[in-house]
Structure 1
Amino acid sequence: MARLASMVALEADRNDPEDFDVSEAEVERAAKERRVRTEQVSLRLDGAVLDRFRATGPGWEARINEALRRAAP
């Protein structure tokens, strides 16, 4: 029985910072992104630009959006 008990997954405690592997900045950024209205568009970009962003892994689309946001006048 003790072996079975050690295999039971417990729910994360939202008040325990050790239960989550995300920083406060990441949580704040995610909350801000949810509040922003987005639109799906078709856009032609250089292949090299896409390759560089895609090489950064999951979330590359959000990073392109952030780069465009910083570059916007």
Structure 2
Amino acid sequence: MSKLLRNTPQEEAAIARGIAADTDTFVPGDEQFEQMKPRRGRPKLEVRKELVSVRYDVEVLEAFRAMGDGWQTRMNDALRDWLRTHRP
């Protein structure tokens, strides 16, 4: 069984001095460190969308789905076009 050997405080200090003396060492600031963090999920949209449950005629859904991927976006665009001429 192998035993983990930790650095002594003196060894850690020597390592830190070596890092500080190295001209190629880059220490990011808080803002730069935040930018390096991996992003999870989809990027935030400029225009926020809301998840709703809605019922449409089967024929309407079939027609939009038949157009292939992006059918929900096209349906949203069609509703937006309709709103341009049908404001309450």
The two structures have a TM-score, normalised by structure 1, of: 0.52
> Is residue 2:51 matched to residue 1:54?
no
Point out where structure 1 has 5 or more consecutive residues left out of the alignment.
1-33
Corresponding residue number in structure 2 for 1:43? 54
Relative contact order (alpha carbons < 8 A, sep ≥ 6): 1 or 2 greater?
1
Structure 1 segments of 4+ aligned residues over 2 angstroms from their partners: none
Would you tell me which structure has more helix in proportion to its own residues? 1
Report deviation, 1:47: 0.4
Larger Cα Rg: Structure 1 or Structure 2? 2
After superposition, the CA RMSD in angstroms is 0.8
- Across the two proteins, how many residue pairs are aligned to each other? 40
SS in 1 for 2:76: helix
Calculate the TM-score normalised by the size of structure 2: 0.43
